[in-house]
Chains A and B, each alone.
Chain A
Amino acid sequence: MIPELGHYALVLALALGIVQALVPLVGSLRGDAALMRLAGSTALMQFVFVALSFVALTACYVTSDFSVANVFENSHSMMPLIYKFTSVWGNHEGSMLLWVLILAAFGAAVAAFGGNLPATLKANVLAVQSWIACSFYLFILLTSNPFLRLAPAPFEGKDLNPILQDIGLAVHPPLLYLGYVGFSISFSFAIAALIEGRIDAAWARWVRPWTLAAWMFLTVGIAMGSYWAYYELGWGGYWFWDPVENASLMPWIAGTALLHSAVVMEKRNALKIWTVLLAILAFSLSLIGTFLVRSGVLTSVHTFASDPSRGVFILMILIFFIGGGLALFAWRAPMLKQGGLFAPVSREGALVFNNLFLTTACLTVFVGTLYPLALEAITGEKISVGAPFFNLTFGPLFIPLLFAMPFGPLLAWKRGDVLGVAQRLMAAFAIGLVAIAVTFVAMGVTSVLAPFGIGLAFYVMAGSLVDLVEHTGVFRLPLATVRARTFGLPRSVWGTALAHFGMAVTLLGIVTASTWGEERIVALKQGQSTSLSGYDMSFDGMTQRAGPNFRETVAKFTARSGGVAVGLMEPSKRSFGARQSTTSEAALLTRGFSQLYMSLGDVNEDGSVAVRLYFKPLVLLIWLGSLVMALGGLLSLSDRRLRVGAPKPAKKASKPSSTLQPAE
């Protein structure tokens, strides 16, 4: 009964979704308050039904109801309980259900907490949101239905893919989806604004929290995914420029630009067209990410062509929303009223610079990800675009961006003074230069570029602190004033500084781990040892262990630094009976922010074991930096104050109006 209840709940959600997609739209066109009000109640009820459906599927997994085909394909009665939960979204059908659950949750949240929205805007936003929801309900019901049944029911399932039997799966996809789907709200707001033909600072104020929340989740989601790949795949890498990863990076970049652009719009009523375009792009890229991962087009263009029902369906969704969104944008955007004016050198100008570089960087990732697919589809030739391409395109775009990062928050609104800001950043420049010099002295001239990367990271960190110093007046104002200013400082200012600081921390981790990391592959017999980066690893022997649904071969190592034992490392290989497959579990030993990484290779006939050893200096900073970034977002999100950008008044003597430009 439970699986059928879930199935019917999903169908009802679709039915309600169709009502919600049409009626409020008519209401807003005709100014009919009752029809517009309908959007709220249907959005809430839609969420109730999708949640019911998700709970039903979860119940099927937890109770190992193998009469549900999806459970049979992806579960096993012997799996630990936590993986019975996570395998709900560890497969295509279930993950799409999670996708719509989050979509419906965001819709319901707008309905519940959007009391301060004008009625027409709320109705239109929820209607657009429901268009998206309906297309995905249909996609699930028609091509990826998790509630299809098996009769007679098998007695045992096929088990979850062992690589996915990890705590990482419990965290990574829901966070990523919260991010992806969160941008749907920004998209709906943008489309609603285009339909109404009106967009202003108030609009940006309403969109801000949603965008910020989505961005935060996506940041943490990508970081977790990267860490998961790092310790589970056993290659010691944290980012592979793999299409699946790029698919999540692109919405993040667009979302970051959107975030900054929306701030300008809320505070200064400028950059309207940028904001609307970025809102459309961020969600479009989320959809493309979903398409790339879900349609099978990545495994091979040919598998996609041989079973196209899913892929073609998602492709149609893509064309409808991206094409429709952009077409509406092209048609309506020119009618939007011009916003505030500003000089090229100003906070607004800096954010336009930021938008330009971010969108260009996003474009390079887009090209690098999709070009090989297009080429394979057209000529059949298979090429892979990897790190070298992205290092040469994406890297150089980010360097000026990072360099300009501390300038932005210090520039005044409307008209700024670069020299003045540069003066205030002197301390940051100095810290950066010292960092470069120290690195050269300590590490030698092994890598010419890396010390500059370190210098850049320290400069950005110092720069974000300078911003705080300027705001609080430390070092130049009396203590009492400083204290008052520190406590009176909006949390959004702290948020900005923290997020920028986190970006620099991540950069520091990337530069050190990729430049000074060491790697060694050796075959060791019991009792032998090897050394890497000042650590000695001695091989103490192999043991067998049994897990709940796997057996593992564990190699035991003792790591010593300067003769003192600092830890045990136990890399292992697990073999899963039900799927007849093995996974390799890496062993990690954390030393400060650095890590020793060990993964097990084959066991040779003479009893020796092949091991891969890595030393990754400061590698943890990569993910800590992302967490700091997200924390910055959280601080800013928690700041319920309104944002007003006070413009710097023109000096009476000069003729500023001649240098001011329209926002778009």
Chain B
Amino acid sequence: MTLWLAFALMTAAAIFAVLWPLGRRTANAGGSDIAVYRDQLDEIARDRATGLIGEAEAEAAKVEVSRRLIAAADVAEADKTVAGASPLWRRRATALAGLVLLPIGATAIYLTLGSPQLPGQPLAERRAAAVQPQDRSIQELIGRVEAHLEQNPNDARGYEVIAPVYLRLGRFDDAVNARRKLLALSGETASRQADLGEALSAASNGVITVEAKTAFERALVLDANDLKAKFFVGVAAEQDGDKPKAAAIWTGMLKDAPADAPWAPMVRESLARLGVVSTPPIAGTAGPSAADVAAANTMSEQDRADMIRGMVARLADKLKEDGSDLEGWQRLLRAYMVMGDRDKATAAAGDARKALASDPEKLRQIGELIKSMGLEG
């Protein structure tokens, strides 16, 4: 409502700018070249007086400028007879155009291009709004723990409490720092190393960086059966493209696990992803890491949609750089269709055809998929 009120005020201001000069009766004449030449003559007199130019030069300049002045005065005289006043009908027509066409035109353009239904979403406001009532107490808690840690920077328990909270809230860098502190303060254990690795990979968008991998491997040295470390080493293998190794690790985990282990579904899902044959579920469209999926489970509906969009965007970017990846294109097209974004899917179909044009086999396959989605034409 406020938005439309603001639009109305702005439009009124614009119309005012058109109507105001039409309404005024007095015509301000504006300057003329005659004034300039008069000033030039004065300037010559001044220059002569200060001795900047000689008598002879001043005379010659005066003659020249006077000639121009006379010519300009003649033209002005001729103009005066030609210049007519402003007939009322012409002003009325202009006013009417300003009053009617201007708002209609502006509104028509804006409605085709703009998105008046979307509110602005400054980040600070969104963060504040995202804090649910029960979360508000979490924020308070975090504040208290942080204050406590500031006073007692060597209190390991404080870091232990706050690290998982940071991770959950998406403050990954803080989580990494807390995990590091904890390791330094209370010594190394397998699970602490694995937690550090998890935070590190979350901080780099789910990519198992060298640093994270080192942490997981260190954890396995300390305890060969650490589940988290095992799982993520599998993810690392998958990201390195070593699918058999990843599959072997995960299958091993499931074999040794009790059937109702809470983490088993996640491992199975990861395995299914490796299988490739089955159509991947939505969350799998852009090949998210297990950490992403894990994170997705704890997210709200809104955040999850954001994350998926982000992953699809990443995939699209990657394909823009290297368009030869047939599987990638297939995933991207499916993802757009699932998200209901037909326009983007059609555009991507065109891009895919272009990118794969050099390889007839791939072109055929992508063509089939496009046809099966009904994106032709």
- Interface residues in B36-65 (C-beta closer than 8 Å to A): 36-37, 39-40, 42-44, 47, 50-53, 56-61, 64-65
CA distance A30 to B87 in the complex (A): 10
Q: Is B310 an interface residue (CB 8 A)?
A: yes
- Among B24, B109, B123, the residue within 8 A (CB) of A66 is B123
Stretch from B132-140, B268-276, B298-306 that touches the partner:
B298-306
B20's closest neighbor in chain A, by CB? A41
8 Å CB contact of A7 from B2, B11, B113: B113
In the complex, what distance in Å separates the CA atom of A19 from the CA atom of B310?
A: 43
A4–B44 touching, CB < 8 Å: no
Instruction: Please provide the chain A residues from 104 to 130 with a CB less than 8 Å away from any CB of chain B in the complex.
Output: 115-119, 122
B118 near A118: Cβ-Cβ < 8 Å: no
A648 within 8 A of B: yes
Q: List residues of B (4-26) whose CB comes within 8 Å of A's CBs.
A: 6-7, 10-11, 13-14, 16-18, 20-22, 24
Q: Are A12 and B61 in contact (CB under 8 A)?
A: no
The listed residue with most A CB atoms (<10 A of its CB), out of B3, B18, B22, is B18
Chain B residues contacting A148 (CB-CB under 8 Å) are 115
| A219 is an interface residue with CB less than 8 A from chain B | no
Q: Mark B58-83, 1 if CB is under 8 A from A, else 0.
A: 11110011001000100100000011
B241 CB–A CB distance under 8 Å: no
Q: A37: which B residues are within 8 A, CB to CB?
A: 21, 24, 27-28
Q: 1/0 per position for B92-136, CB-CB distance to A under 8 A?
A: 001001100010011001100111101111111110000000000
B368 at the interface (CB under 8 A from A): no
B339-350 vs A, Cβ < 8 Å mask (1 yes, 0 no)? 000000000000
Q: What is the minimal beta-carbon distance from B70 to any residue of chain A, in angstroms? A: 13
A395 near B: Cβ within 8 Å? no
* Neighbouring A residues of B58 by C-beta, 8 Å: 646
Once the chains bind, are A15 and B47 in contact (CB under 8 Å)? Answer: no
**Is A380 an interface residue when CB atoms closer than 8 A count as contact?**
no
Per-position 1/0 for A45-59, Cβ under 8 A of B = 100110010000000
Q: A12 touches which one: B30, B59, B97, B106 (CB < 8 A)?
A: B106
Q: How far is the CA of A612 from the CA of B15 in the complex (A)?
A: 61
Who on chain B is nearest to A485 by CB? B51
27 contacts between A and B (CB under 8 A): A3-B120, A15-B105, A19-B97, A34-B24, A34-B27, A37-B21, A42-B18, A44-B17, A63-B122, A66-B123, A118-B30, A118-B32, A149-B115, A152-B306, A155-B306, A201-B33, A201-B68, A306-B354, A484-B50, A484-B51, A488-B51, A489-B52, A490-B52, A642-B42, A646-B60, A647-B61, A647-B64
On whether the beta carbons of A485 and B110 are closer than 8 Å, the reply is: no
Known: A15-B102, A33-B27, A45-B17. 11 other contacts (CB 8 A): A5-B3, A7-B110, A11-B114, A15-B105, A16-B17, A35-B22, A42-B18, A66-B123, A115-B30, A151-B118, A202-B37
- Whether A429 sits at the interface, judged by CB under 8 Å, is no
Q: Identify the closest chain A residue to B41 (Cβ).
A: A644
| A122 CA / B354 CA spacing, docked (Å) | 52
Q: Is the CB of B18 within 8 A of A19?
A: yes
Specify which of A141, A145, A577 is in contact with B204 (CB 8 Å cutoff): A577
A298 close to chain B: CB less than 8 A: no
- Say what secondary structure dominates the interface of chain B: helix
Across-interface contacts of A4 in B (CB, < 8 A): 3, 114-116, 118, 120
Contact B33 A145 (CB under 8 A): no
Which one of A8, A9, A41, A152 contacts B305 once the chains associate, using CB atoms below 8 Å?
Answer: A152
Q: How many A-B residue pairs have CB under 8 A?
A: 227
Q: What residues of chain A lie closer than 8 Å to B7, measured between beta carbons?
A: 5, 8
Interface size class of A (residues with CB under 8 A): 35 or more
Cβ–Cβ contact A45 & B35, under 8 A:
no
Contact between chains at B115 and A19 (CB < 8 Å): no
Inter-subunit contact B113/A145 (CB<8 Å): yes
Q: How many angstroms from the CA of A65 to the CA of B30 in the assembled complex?
A: 46
Pick from A9, A38, A152, A490: contact of B302, CB below 8 A: A152
Bound-complex Cα distance A647 to B309 (A) = 73
Q: Does B259 belong to the interface (CB within 8 Å)?
A: no
By beta carbon, the residue of chain A nearest B16 is: A45
* Interface of chain A residues 648 through 664 with chain B (CB within 8 A): 648-649
B53 touches A646 (CB 8 A): yes
| Cα–Cα, bound, A117→B204 (Å) | 62
Neighbouring B residues of A645 by C-beta, 8 Å: 61
Whether A642 pairs with B120 at a CB distance below 8 angstroms is no
Q: Do A647 and B33 touch across chains, with their CB atoms under 8 A apart? A: no
* A115→B126 CA distance, assembly (Å): 49
Smallest CB gap from B31: residue in A: A116
Q: Is the CB of A80 closer than 8 A to any CB of chain B?
A: no
Once bound together, how far apart are the Cα atoms of A115 and B29, in whole Å? 9
Inter-chain contact B18/A41, CB cutoff 8 Å: yes
CB-nearest residue of chain B to A5: B6
Chain B nearest Cβ from A198, distance in angstroms:
8
Residues of A within 8 A of B125 (CB): 63
Residues of A within 8 A of B255 (CB): none
Given contacts A5-B6, A12-B10, A649-B56, contact A122 B115 (CB under 8 A): no
Please tell me if A2 contacts chain B, counting CB pairs below 8 Å.
yes
Establish whether residues B10 and A8, one from each chain, have CB atoms under 8 Å apart when the complex forms: yes
Is B84 among interface residues, defined by CB-CB distance under 8 A?
Answer: yes
B59 neighbours in A (Cβ, 8 Å): 649
Q: A12-B14, A30-B84, A49-B10 are in contact. Are A202 and B122 (CB under 8 A)?
A: no
Q: Do residues B29 and A119 form an inter-chain contact, with CB atoms below 8 A? A: yes
Contact A12 B11 (CB under 8 A): yes
A31 touches B90 (CB 8 A): no
Do B57 and A646 have beta carbons less than 8 Å apart?
yes
Are A31 and B84 interface neighbours, CB within 8 A?
yes
What residue of chain B has the Cβ atom nearest to residue A645's Cβ?
Answer: B61
Which A residues are in CB contact (< 8 Å) with B86?
A: 32-35
Interface members, chain B 288-318 (any A CB < 8 Å): 302-303, 305-306, 309-310
**B72 lies within 8 A of A200 (CB):** yes
At the interface, yes or no: A607 with Cβ under 8 Å from chain B? no
- Which residues of B lie under 8 Å from residue A154 when comparing CB positions? 306, 309-310
Q: Report if A263 contacts B (CB, 8 A).
A: no
Give Cα A205–Cα B30 distance, bound, in whole angstroms: 16
- Tell whether, in the assembled complex, residue A11 and residue B110 are in contact, meaning their CB atoms are under 8 Å apart: yes
Which of B2, B17, B24, B94 has the most chain A CB atoms inside 10 A of its CB? B17
Chain B, residue nearest A30 (CB): B84
* A155 / chain B contacts, CB cutoff of 8 Å: 123, 126, 170, 303, 306
Q: At the interface, yes or no: B371 with Cβ under 8 Å from chain A?
A: no
Bound CA span A448–B176, Å: 62
CB distance from B335 to the nearest CB of A (A): 15
Count chain B CB atoms within 10 A of each CB in A15, A141, A481 and give the residue with the most: A15
Bound CA–CA A646/B61 (angstroms): 5
Residue of A nearest to B2 (CB): A1
Residues of B within 8 A of A15 (CB): 14, 102, 105-106, 109
User: Is B85 an interface position by the 8 A CB rule?
Assistant: yes
In the bound complex, do residue A8 and residue B306 qualify as a contact, i.e. CB atoms below 8 Å apart? Answer: no
Chain A CB within 10 Å, residue with most, of B27, B42, B170: B27
Asked if A23 is at the interface (CB within 8 A of a chain B CB), the reply is: yes
Q: In the bound complex, do residue A16 and residue B109 qualify as a contact, i.e. CB atoms below 8 Å apart?
A: no
Complex Cα distance A23/B98, Å? 10
Q: Is A258 an interface residue (CB 8 A)?
A: no
CB of A355 within 8 A of chain B? no
Given A35-B86, A154-B310, decide whether A644 and B40 contact each other with a Cβ distance below 8 A.
yes
In the complex, A141→B109 CA distance in Å? 9
A contact residues around B17 at 8 Å (CB): 16, 41-42, 44-45
Q: If A7-B113, A155-B303, A644-B61 touch, does A32 touch B90 (CB 8 Å cutoff)?
A: yes
Contacts of A66 in B (CB 8 A): 121, 123
Check if A64 is an interface residue, CB within 8 A of chain B. Answer: yes
- Taking the nearest CB of chain B, how far is it from the CB of A140, in angstroms? 10
Nearest CB of chain A from residue B232's CB, rounded to whole Å: 20
In the assembled complex, A67 has its CB within 8 A of some CB on chain B: yes
Docked-complex contact A67 and B27, CB < 8 angstroms: no
Q: Tell me, in angstroms, the Cα distance from A203 to B32 when the chains sit together.
A: 10
Determine if A619 is an interface residue (Cβ-Cβ < 8 Å): no
In Å, the complex CA distance between A37 and B72 comes to 23
User: Does B91 touch A at the CB level, under 8 Å?
Assistant: yes
